[in-house]
């Protein structure tokens, strides 16, 4: 979703967003545990925390 990209850019900055995308997308189709580890490595937070932050971003009305 575009709103997730906007949220990640607001948290990580553009260079961080690009790095996170490349890290996660570069792994093809990882298993759920591997995907969760990639998200944690790329964003610094667990998937559940990322989703909660994104939900808050949506409630606040993203730019």
| pLDDT tens-digit series, residues 2-28 | 999 999 999 999 999 999 988 888 767
Predicted confidence at residue 63, as pLDDT, reads 60
Rounded CA-CA distance 38/42 in Å is 6
pTM above 0.85, yes or no: no
User: Domain range for residue 19?
Assistant: 2-60
Predicted confidence at residue 24, as pLDDT, reads 82
Per DSSP, 31 falls in state: -
Count of domains observed in the chain? 1
Per DSSP, 44 falls in state: S
Predicted confidence at residue 61, as pLDDT, reads 86
């Amino acid at each position: 979703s575009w709103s997730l990209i906007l949220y990640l850019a607001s948290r990580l900055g553009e260079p961080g967003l690009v790095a996170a995308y490349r890290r996660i997308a570069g792994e093809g189709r990882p298993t759920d545990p591997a995907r969760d580890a990639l998200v944690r490595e790329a964003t610094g937070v667990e998937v559940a925390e990322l989703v909660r932050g994104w939900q808050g971003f949506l409630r606040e009305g993203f730019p």
